[in-house]
Structure 1
Amino acid sequence: MQEEMGSQAIDLLVKGCDVVTLDANGTVITDGAIAVEKDRIVWMGPAADCGSFTPKSTIDGRGRIAIPGLIDAHFHTGQQFLRGKLQAIARTRPLKLPVWKNYLIPFESCLEPEDVYLSGLVAYTNMIQVGTTCFAEAGGPHPDEMGRAATDVGIRGFVSLSTMDQSENIGPDVPANMLMTHEQAVERNVSLVKRWQDNDRVKAWLSLRQIIVCSPGLIKDISTAARDLDVKIHTHLCEGSYEIDYAFEKFGKRPTEWLDEMGVLSYHLHCAHSVLLSPNEVDLYQKHRLSACHCGFGNYSIGHPRLVEMWRRGIAIGLGTDGPGAAGTLDIFQVAHVARVGQQAANSAVFHQREPISAEELLKVATIGGARALGIIDKVGTLEVGKKADFLLCDSSRMDHQPIYDALFVAANLVVGRDVETVIVDGNVVMKNREMQTVDTAAIKAKLFERLPAISERFERMVA
């Protein structure tokens, strides 16, 4: 991890913090320092040994814990403005089920390009403020506007387009602007990926919303494009019982088994939720190196998520919020804490395990797991020399963190998003002392208050 150090000019030096690297050796450097040049970590070690560096800027990390940036491996940018909206509707009348068909897709259909850009500004700023430095967009409207917002905020991310080419399996009420022909779906996905392929920090993926709304032909062609472009496909898989029933009725197999029969399973497929998996489907995930995302705030209402088993078997699985329309919060620390309790409830009663997965392991799922799932473990996920400088400084001086015997314990068990004080992404300080350095948050809030009534009015007319 450490390199022999001589006199060296660098861009940034963070010193005095406890450095939780999450590397293979579990290295924690007490009173440590991190040297950053351009977008990379070039040295780490004891703060006492960093005197030969000449930094352009220095951050005093005393009373802080440095950890890798968290990764949100499944997020809906286009649903950011639904935070609390469905709950408000439910207080006046029963919600129509399923929610994804009756509310989530209609809401996304209401959004104009500038609405999605604003949604991205709000969402990605929120992410930075709670310690998320990278996200994977689930697929929504106007993904180029998401990319523009991510670029402006300074976050790392993968944007994608909501892709559906059939609606007969869910009824006639799908908004027309959320559907496309087979040819349009392939062309729009491929061209999106190519438009963003030269951007180092913000890129695009392909997308298939889910098997119910995507034809077999489209699934095959998008899978072929993923291999040709060497890029991932973001999809929802085994998220609900309706999906299992659909696959059995139409194809005589469970969803993952049917996709295997079509020959489209590969490491290119990133599968959100992945809750209702049979033992054979978990085997297929492992065999074909599918990646997955556990959304702790929603998955336990669906079934028995196989997070512990998948993590133990080396399946690339990260944590996700699913967006504020589902979880309310974008705080991956909280998702990890909820997932720990959920996995205890799901596993302990069956196997009599006191602690099926620890908080420390779940912090690794939120960082290393997310990086593996997104295919960027060579760049982020741990703090190591040569990797991207994506990391957080978390305030550990408060009374609810005291006493501190072990910085890793505090980071995994006690820290939440609002303890994140400073965030570095790609070597750039995007938040310092809780103040965004890249965007004007007051202006974003003012624009939100201006635009939200019109968006809400359009949505309410659709779902009344």
Structure 2
Amino acid sequence: MTPIDTLILARRVVPVAGPTRVLEDHAVAVRHGHIEAVLPAAEARERFEAVEVVELDDHVLLPGFINAHTHAAMNLMRGIANDMPLMPWLTEHIWPIESAFMSPGFVAEGTDLAMAEMLRSGTTCFNDMYFFPDVVAERVDAAGMRAAVGMIVIDFPTVWAANAAEYLDKGLAVRDAWRGHERITPVFAPHAPYTVSDEPLEKIRTYADEMDLRVHMHVHETAFEVNDALEKTGERPLARLDRLGLLTPNFLAVHMTQLTDDEIDHCARTGVHVLHSPESNLKLASGLCPVQRLIDAGVNVALGTDGAASNNDLDMIGEMRTAAFSGKLAGAQPDAAAVSADTALEMATLGGARALGLDEITGSIEPGKAADLCAVDLSAIETAPMFDPVAAVVYNASRERVTDTWVAGRRLLADRRLTTLDEAQLLDTAARWRDTLAGHARQPAARRSSE
């Protein structure tokens, strides 16, 4: 028998890639952090001798979810300012709080809280955009997760950097410090067209081309953003980014709720990836991304939650359901077949891996890939009777049904218990920050009935 580290026996395995949609009574063999084989359970028992055997009799085993757009440390501001549009939310609440309280400690504790939430909902990898990316990388390394760590760039000064040049210098130092790490990938993260001027964007394009790094940016998030740019410059933000040479297969455009048919076609031609955050877009009333039109045009669409301050959770199972449901109404005509359950699952796994340039490493259950996996228990009343495990996960399950999460073969969630993060300590941390920030929380005025 062949010695391996872990043998996971599952009632159902959904590989996402490959010829078979659902594998019944299969096993995944894990050795040195990678998938050694995917094969029938009976054959696996005869072929492998494992240090640990995990039996998932009522579960579906999936690739770990890839949260393609986060601001992880903003978990400490969950619900701080609700029920308002993007720009007032940012300028009147979020940015002032960040100006007053941002620090390495804030980012470390907020990122730990976010990672715990993500692991408990089956997420194995996230793409982050926030201050102190050096601290984010350190916390990711300690927790054992996988992440694309954003080298943030903004024109105006913050506690992290005084100007765009310093943001770039500090970001490149982060890239040098973590280059070659097995689970951490640096990416450029200019915030948005309205916060980053041409000169730093041109430098980012040059560096990204030279270093083959992704560029992660909010684009066409709201109609206000597009109309404001048109009034000030006569140019739509996406056209400006194209003029600056940024629209390439390395470009990750977040939100994209305001798109013309020509812009969709141009994204397909240039290889741009779109990172869809439906719940944040709905909560802030920013708009609906035309997901099915993008996919039909050949654009890779990934799924992300955005930050917990605007969502207000990091639940990728919930995000899949919202993406599927809202996607059926986001086209020119309602279409119940748009953004199917399978499409939503692919967006949350392999689509995210493609966007981050990690599709040879993660995003599907295939031999040779990292053992980034999650198990969802489908034995509950809420998923019974169960005819289709993919639909059951996307349309019926909740994140509370996730029992186990592995990253690179390491079990970071075991029977709903975090193994590298201290839940009690995190709850104490959250309570302390709640007390610190309580005076800044916006309580919306009650809206009178029209009757």
CA distance in structure 1 between the partners assigned to 2:29 and 2:242 by the alignment: 46
2:118 aligns with one of 113, 127, 134: 127
- C-alpha distance in 2 between matches for 1:437 and 1:271: 34
**Cα distance in structure 1, aligned partners of 2:161 and 2:414:** 42
Q: Is the Cα–Cα contact under 8 Å of residues 81 and 441 in structure 2 kept in the other structure? A: no
Distance in structure 2 (CA, Å) of the matches to 1:62 and 1:244: 51
Q: Which residue of 1 aligns with 2:74?
A: 79
Counterpart among 351, 355, 374 of residue 369 in structure 1: 351
When residues 268 and 27 of structure 1 are mapped into structure 2, their CA distance, relative to the original with a 3 A threshold, is same
For structure 2, the residue ranges without an aligned partner over 5 or more in a row are: 443-451
Structure 1 residue aligned with 2:17: 23
* 2:151–2:168 CA contact under 8 A, matched in 1: no
1:89-139 alpha-carbon deviations (Å, 9 max, x no partner) = x7xxx89952122222233332211111010110001000011111101x2
1:105 aligned residue: 95
SS at match of 1:235: strand
Question: What residue in structure 1 maps to residue 445 of structure 2?
Answer: none
1:41 aligns with 2:41: no
Within 1, Cα distance between the matches of 2:342 and 2:432? 42
Q: In the alignment, is the contact (CA less than 8 A) between 2:74 and 2:308 conserved in 1?
A: yes
The 10-residue stretch of structure 1 (42-51 or 399-408) with the greater mean CA deviation from structure 2: 399-408
Deviations 1:293-335 (A, max 9, x none): 1111132422241111112222121111111111112111111
Evaluate the alpha carbon distance shift between residue 102 and residue 352 of structure 1 in structure 2; reply closer, same or farther with a 3 A threshold. closer
- Residues 222-243 of structure 1: CA deviation (Å, up to 9, x unaligned): 1111111111111100112232
Change (3 A) 1:342 1:96: closer
SS at match of 2:432: helix
State the Cα distance separating 1:162 from its structure 2 match: 3.2
Report the residue type matching 2:2 in the other structure: Q
State yes or no: 1:340 paired with 2:324: yes
**SS of corresponding position for 1:267:** coil
Name which of structure 1's ranges 322-331 and 244-253 shifts more when overlaid on structure 2.
Answer: 244-253
1:251–1:258 CA contact under 8 A, matched in 2? no
1:283 to 265, 271, 286: 265
Match of 1:59 in 2: 54
The one-letter code of the counterpart of 1:23 is A
Q: Which of 299, 303, 326 is residue 310 of structure 2 equivalent to?
A: 326
Q: Does 1:381 align with 2:372?
A: no
Q: Could you report, residue by residue, the CA deviation over 1:411-451 in whole angstroms, capped at 9, with x for unpaired residues?
A: 33322211100111111011110001112211222233234
Aligned CA-pair RMSD: 2.1
Question: Which AA in structure 1 matches 2:58?
Answer: G
Show CA shifts across 1:243-290 (max 9, x none): 212332343221111121222221221111011112222122111111
Give me the TM-score of the superposition, normalised by structure 2.
0.92
Residue 404 of structure 1, aligned match among 386, 391, 414: 386
Tell me how far 1:178 sits from its aligned partner: 6.2
Q: Counterpart in 1 of 2:133?
A: 143
Would you say how many aligned residue pairs link Structure 1 and Structure 2?
A: 438
Percent of paired sites with the same residue: 25
Contact 2:111/2:136 (8 A) holds in 1: yes
Query: Any runs of at least 4 consecutive aligned residues in structure 1 with deviations exceeding 6 A, and if so which?
Result: none
Per the alignment, residue 185 of structure 2 pairs with 203
Matched with 1:421 is 403
